[in-house]
Amino acid sequence: MYQRREEMDTTMAYILDAIDKKILEILQEDATIPNIELAEKVCLSPSPCSRRVKNLHEQGFIKRAVTLLEPEKVGLPVSVFIQVTLNHQVKKELMDFESVIGQWPEVMECYLMTGDFDYLLRVVVPNLQAYQEFLDKKLTELPGIDHIKSSFSLKQVRYRTELPLEQLLEQE
């Protein structure tokens, strides 16, 4: 069921229909698709299609559109997964760590984890020397770190940016 933003009760969550789901699937695959082509693929005319895309942005389903680069082509062929354990898992130390990590361009992803370590980072660098410098001049300089364990990716077996959306229409 598709509801226009003006018609929605502000306390109700926006409900996606099959056309919205299809739009999201197509845009995840190629965010640069022209609206006319997108409209054809979802069997709408361009104006309603454009309104739906705008609404999906406004409702927060679409976070942003980006261009994915090939790491080797831009000189960043080395991916390192780093497990970080802090001395103390108190809120201030967690927030301080996250604040600093968030400023480093080499850190592509950072997750707060459960289990044997506190954070999992994915870092990209041009070579092993650059990784050593990252460790020496950045990561090991942070206060409160108890343990660091690095694992180097030998080969990327699967990398996806498209989220599976099958569950969206199961909510009805």
DSSP 15-26: ---HHHHHHHHH
- CA–CA separation, 119 and 139 (whole Å): 12
Q: Is the pLDDT of residue 137 over 50?
A: yes
Tens digits of residue pLDDT in 87-132: 998 999 999 999 999 999 999 999 999 999 999 999 999 999 999 9
Q: Is the pLDDT of residue 80 over 90?
A: yes
Q: Report which of 86, 82, 75, 83 is spatially closest to residue 130, judged by C-alpha positions.
A: 75
Q: Which residue has the tokens 């919205």?
A: 20
Q: Report which of 58, 62, 65 is spatially closest to residue 3, judged by C-alpha positions.
A: 58
Tens digits of residue pLDDT in 6-24: 444 443 577 899 999 999 9
